Amino acid sequence: MRSMTHARAGCQLCFCNFMIQGILTINQLQRDFGPHKVLPVKIHQPNPFVPSEENMDLQTTYKQDYNPYPLCRVDPIKPRDSKYPCGDKMESLPTYKADYLPWNQPRRELLRPPHHYRPASTKFDSRTTQQDDYSMKGLVNTRSCKPPAVPKLCNIPLEDLTNYKMSYVAHPLEKRFVHESEKFRPSEIPFESLTTHKESYRGLMGEPAKSLKPPARPCGLLPFSNTTEFRDKYQAWPTPQVFSKPPATYVPPEEKMDLLTTVQAHYTFPKGAPAESCRPAPSVKKGGRFEGSTTTKEDYKQWASMRTEPVKPIPQLNLPSEPLDCLTTTRAHYVPHLPMMTKSCKPLWSGPRGNIPVEGQTTYTISFTPKEMSRCLASYPEPPGYIFEEIDALGHRIYRPISQTGSRRSSRFSVGDSENPNQQELTVSA
């Protein structure tokens, strides 16, 4: 408890010192600060632009220093993939099937109870125990045993006096202070709508860029056939009609439903009467003052106690009598020096060069060779120049050029490619 008191007293003392220092700083600022005359800002007028009479040199460092070297195509390092499947049959016998052979043992019989159930030959009537035992009954008018709702009247008036109504004192409201804002004074100096771009930028006329794209050639190919093998060979299966069973018609019962429960039917209480309350009737006082004494107020009396004064520490801080000088370490020890002019090592500009036209040739325009677009052979039902040979395991139709004979089928990877590398086998997916 004592440590908390000391901490609270220390916080109060620090707050007081902070407030005193703030007040002294404000007084020092009010005493040292003097109003000065505000003059309009002088705008620097740039020198007028004088266009140069010399022509601009459009040469770049890349065009001057770059030396072209002859180009040669690099051979690929990746081995050539084989596009033709092997005709030999793959031996698909794994190690597990070769090493782990089944034992020649008789099959063990299952240990389960004998199956003696035989379904009944009669038709299932789908009747439940609820439908068999509980028959439909008619409606019965029931009588409610609930007592009628009678309002309870009380002759004691409600006391609407509260402590707020008795102790509240209405005070007159003071007039609200409205702060008046100062009027806006527009500046007398006119606004100059000049920017660095408007002052320094001068547009130079130049030639428009030329497109180096080769001219487009019209495509004179035949239209692509929209028929596929799936559309030609697919046959739709006949869809059988779905059998639907008609629902049974609902037949309402002829008798009325009996809403009489088992308790109402067997427990009639011929001599019954409502139960009487064993609680004594409360005694209602029709007059007199309300007695607000309770057991707590009568048995627990308030003790006569004196308020203990907090233990305050003796202040040991001596406040200075002189005002605070707002002098910082920078203002006290900083010595201003004159700026030193540094020498620039940038080479001088030799001026604009002659007007040399831009070389509009690129590697694409020099080395591009247009090729004729031909129709894809896979779009024909029977490709011209090829003969159908077989269908592989993946379902692809393999065609062979007509120039190759039937004796070269076994050596299609070596002989066919070496004699005529332009004609290769054509594989069409089914």
Q: Is the dihedral of CA 100, 105, 111, 112 positive or negative?
A: positive
- Report the SS3 class of residue 198: helix
- Check if the beta carbon of residue 429 is closer than 8 Å to that of residue 392: no
Burial class (CB in 10 A: 0-12, 13-18, 19+), 369: exposed
Q: In the structure encoding, which two tokens stand for residue 379, read together?
A: 């779009």
Predicted confidence (pLDDT) per residue in 31-69, tens digit: 776 777 878 888 888 888 888 888 877 788 888 887 777
What is the C-alpha separation between 336 and 349, in angstroms, rounded? 36
DSSP labels for 12-70?
HHHHHHHHHHHHHHHHHHHHH----PPPPPPPPPPPPP---SSPPP---HHHHH-----
Nearest to 229 by CA among 396, 22, 23: 396
* Whole-number average pLDDT of the chain: 77
Count of CB atoms situated within 10 Å of the CB of 386: 18
**Amino acid present at 385:** G
Count of CB atoms situated within 10 Å of the CB of 228: 9
Count of CB atoms situated within 10 Å of the CB of 361: 8
The predicted pLDDT at position 119 comes to 83
Nearest to 290 by CA among 159, 202, 104: 159
Region at 288 (left for phi over 0; alpha for psi -120 to 50; beta for the rest): left
Does the predicted TM-score (pTM) go above 0.85?
no
List the beta bridge partners of residue 401.
386
Predicted confidence (pLDDT) per residue in 371-388, tens digit: 888 888 878 888 888 888
Residues in CB range of 382: below 8 A, 6 or more apart: 388
**Amino acid present at 243:** F
Residue 258 pLDDT exceeds 80: yes
Alpha carbon separation from 227 to 35, 231, 236, 387 (Å, rounded): 95, 7, 17, 21
Nearest to 43 by CA among 189, 248, 257, 164: 189
Residue 406 pLDDT exceeds 60: no
- Check if the beta carbon of residue 229 is closer than 8 Å to that of residue 430: yes
Burial class (CB in 10 A: 0-12, 13-18, 19+), 218: exposed
Residue 5 pLDDT exceeds 70: no
**Amino acid present at 116:** H
Place of tokens 């002294």: 24
How do strand 386-391 and strand 426-429 relate by DSSP bridges?
unpaired
235-253 average pLDDT score: 85
352-361 average pLDDT score: 69
Predicted confidence (pLDDT) per residue in 178-237, tens digit: 888 888 888 888 877 788 888 877 777 777 788 888 887 766 666 667 788 888 887 778
Residues in CB range of 202: below 8 A, 6 or more apart: 49, 51
Q: Predicted confidence band at 286 (pLDDT cuts at 50, 70, 90)? A: low
Phi, psi at residue 295, to the nearest 5°? -65, -35
Alpha carbon separation from 281 to 234, 276, 278, 284, 368 (Å, rounded): 96, 12, 9, 9, 116
Burial class (CB in 10 A: 0-12, 13-18, 19+), 398: middle
